[in-house]
Amino acid sequence: MSGPERKPDSPKRRLPALAMLPGMVVWYGVRALTQTGVRDVFSRAVGRYTDQRILQAAVDYPTKKELVERYDTTLAGRELPVIEGGVWVDYVADTGDGFSSTYAMAGLISADAVEVDVGGETKRLPAGQLLIMGGDQAYPYASDAEYVRRLRQPFDIAIHHASELDGQR
């Protein structure tokens, strides 16, 4: 199976300097522990009097049609590509808390196939047609900026490098 068509970026595309890539999260560092402590105190003081569902309902006024579309988990009206009567699904969770670990996962996920040993025989498994991401992808606290730094950037670079390798083969 060949994966989605990848077009290499221009050769002049600049990748970020290694020093600019996010390092591993220092879980027991002063900053992380202080932030966690402040969030815990605030949550205990205010959280017991609030319910996320009530707060969300107070600011979200969807129509009935929007609600149905938002929570429709069927595949009605949508078609997925099929291989030999099935759909290949990849699942990944907790992609890592630093550039290196997330980049490693991104490299595996963006590969067209992986080879595994099954009882002494090498099998080639195609890449999933559908990727489901669970768990955390941006540590220690998710924000738009952290998702870009800790998830999207490593994936973009991994796909860029995969495209360059495909062009060399």
pLDDT of residue 1: 44
- Contacts of residue 131, defined as CB under 8 A and 6 or more positions apart, other chains included, come to 89, 90, 91, 92, 109
pLDDT of residue 3: 47
4 versus 39: which is more confidently predicted?
39
84: left (phi > 0), else alpha (psi -120 to 50), else beta?
left
pLDDT in tens, 76-85: 666 655 556 6
Report the alpha-carbon distance of residue 159 to residue 72 in Å, rounded: 31
pLDDT in tens, 51-64: 777 777 778 888 88
pLDDT in tens, 115-150: 888 888 898 888 888 889 888 787 777 788 888 888
Pairing relation of β-strands 89-93 and 130-134? parallel
Q: Report the sign of the C-alpha dihedral through residues 123, 127, 128, 131, in that order.
A: positive
pLDDT of residue 119: 82
- 8 A C-beta contact, residue 11 and residue 167: no
Neighbouring C-beta atoms of residue 153, cutoff 10 Å: 20
pLDDT of residue 165: 61
H-helix or E-strand containing 101? Answer: helix 99-109
pLDDT in tens, 63-101: 888 888 877 766 566 665 555 667 788 898 888 888 888
Confidence of residue 16 (pLDDT cuts 50, 70, 90): confident
Average pLDDT of span 19-36? 83
Please say if the pLDDT value at position 5 is more than 70: no
pLDDT of residue 74: 67
Helix%, strand%, coil% for the chain, nearest 5:
45, 15, 40
